[in-house]
Amino acid sequence: MVGVLDSGVGGLSVWKELVGTLPDEKYLYVADSGFCPYGPRDKSYIIERTSRISEFLIDRGADIIVVACNTATAAAISTLRRNYKIPFIGMEPATKPAVLHSESGVIAVLATQGTFRGELYMGTLEKYASQTRVIEIVGNNLVELVEKMEWDTPEAERLVRSYVEPAIAEGADHIVLGCTHYPFLTKTIEKIAGSKVKIINPAPAIAKRAREVLAGIVPRNVYSEDSDWFCTTAEDTSVLASMVGMILSESRNNVFRKYKCTTIRL
């Protein structure tokens, strides 16, 4: 079984790629929506939350854990890898491909405060982006909108416009989605950025990496559930259930996939 965690429903943008690439796997997803957003929190808080969630996933039989959250990866992945034996796959803003393909020499990265503070992000910039202008945009309040499925609203458009337009005016030809909640805003971002600007979402690469790592795990844990499970630390499961339903209804091969949603206390 593949464990997936995020501060909320954003990691479903990664699960969508995982389930497309690895449809024969079973998934256990934890949305920490009761404690979302992680972006402005300090490192120790995120380590504490993600450790609890990881223990829950490991106890239930996860073979790997996908940390489908850039902020959690930046704050906690090295601690999680040190403390638990199973493989962890993390997220990092895909600045490298954006830098390599940029023609204007200007790219924009849209992420949370916590992700910009992370060593992974800063290390990649140092290594690859010395000749590129990188415009860093903290997407304040975007996570909150996605947590309410309000990505197609005038407020979402107003906020995205205020973040994206100045970067486009400065010549950015790539926008890196450095938070797993943001792919749900892709249509709005595209509308504002225009068709010449490339939007980069690293989720497909994460799914390929998960496939490679899983191929190396023999034997696998025994897991007897016949449905995927989606758990949230929020009181209400309706947003999580609606988003899973929406993703599956848009999928070619997984339309009839079985899933269950529940609230958990962690």
Catalytic residues: 69, 179
HSE on the CB side for 18, CA within 13 Å? 28
CA distance 115 to 23: 30
Identify the three-state secondary structure at position 141. coil
Site string for ligand DGL, 165-184 (x = CB under 6 A): --------------xxx---
* Backbone angle region of 211, left / alpha / beta, with phi > 0 → left and psi within -120 to 50 → alpha: alpha
188 interacts with ligand DGL by CB under 6 A? no
Choosing from 66, 69, 164, 231, the residue that interacts with ligand DGL (CB under 6 A) is 69
Nearest-approach distance from CB 169 to ligand DGL, in angstroms: 26
Are residues 25 and 213 in contact, defined by beta-carbon separation less than 8 angstroms?
no
Tell me how far CA of residue 85 lies from CA of 50, 79, 134, 256, in angstroms: 15, 11, 36, 34
Choosing from 1, 5, 143, 231, the residue that interacts with ligand DGL (CB under 6 A) is 143
Stretch of residues binding ligand DGL (CB under 6 A), selected from 64-72, 76-84, 161-169, 217-225:
64-72
Choosing from 4, 6, 29, 244, the residue that interacts with ligand DGL (CB under 6 A) is 6
Closest by alpha carbon to 254, among 56, 23, 69?
Answer: 23
Under rule CB under 6 A, which residues in 102-131 are in contact with ligand DGL? 112, 115
Nearest-approach distance from CB 75 to ligand DGL, in angstroms: 10
CA distance 16 to 179: 15
70 interacts with ligand DGL by CB under 6 A? yes
Choosing from 10, 90, 183, 202, the residue that interacts with ligand DGL (CB under 6 A) is 10
71 interacts with ligand DGL by CB under 6 A? yes
Choosing from 2, 4, 5, 36, the residue that interacts with ligand DGL (CB under 6 A) is 36
Nearer to ligand DGL, 80 or 195 (CB): 80
**Looking at the DSSP assignment, which residues form a beta bridge with residue 108?**
135, 175
Tell me how far CA of residue 265 lies from CA of 48, 61, 165, 198, 262, in angstroms: 14, 18, 40, 40, 10
Q: Give contact residues for ligand DGL (rule: CB under 6 A).
A: 6-8, 10, 36-39, 69-71, 91, 112, 115, 143, 179-181
